Structure 1
Amino acid sequence: MKSEPEVYSITHLQRDRQTIWDGVRNYQARNFMRQMHPGDLAFFYHSNANPPGIVGLMRVIKNNVVDPTQFDAKSKYYDPKSTPQSPRWQTVIVEFKEVFPQIITLEKLKQEFSPDELLVVKQGNRLSVMPVAETVATHILNYSRK
């Protein structure tokens, strides 16, 4: 799950302990979040950073949460086609798990994984939420512990 550190960083989550992952407005990313369940782990990826990369870990504590920003006309995530009776955007609530001792940079991820193995390394991929296969996740977690 990606966030720009100036908007919401791993240190924000560490301070807040948990947050709603609101504002996702891509149907494919939303659909990936719909597949998440309480207890699932998620990598926290700082995008639009220097360097970009995985900075920590969080856990899903609640799924299928209606994103309230879709109803707020003052929010940049407002969706006039969405109604409380028929919301278009669901999300998750996550809790802080850990900050990695060092960032796992996008460059390192590109060295370790092909685009078929890890979508974040695919040229032009702009999704903010994407699945990670268990074998790839295990490799990333083992690398983060070095």
Structure 2
Amino acid sequence: MSLRQALRRASPVERFPGLRLLPVGEEWDVVRMRAEAGFLALAHLRAAQADLGPVLHDRLSERLYFAVPVDSSASWSGLPVKVLAVGSWLVAPDPNGSDGHTGGWCELPDDETLTDPVALRRALDQQRTDPVPSPA
């Protein structure tokens, strides 16, 4: 099931219209990072035309969340990221309506595409030494 489909089925967050509560770790994990690092990684992934799944920007906490395949936690050692897996929950806006104040979706494919963890790891490592690449 795509994350977009899961959002439609997810429970609403009480007192916060438009927000949904998604369980993490069943069909995807989520890698959370500072927005600054996340946006640079996102630019690298787009320029490389890597598989890119859902990416959520939480403006209030200045974090980006990348949906990746489950069981990729070994890919993230040594990086300043947090992996949300089984037992975690993600509060996310409805894909069709966000006021932008709290953030929103940078990417939300209609299919089951998830971000390639190897490509994301490479983008996070690469941004330390290389400038953001230009799209081809």
TM-score, reference length from structure 2: 0.26
Q: Bigger radius of gyration, 1 or 2?
A: 1
TM-score, reference length from structure 1: 0.25
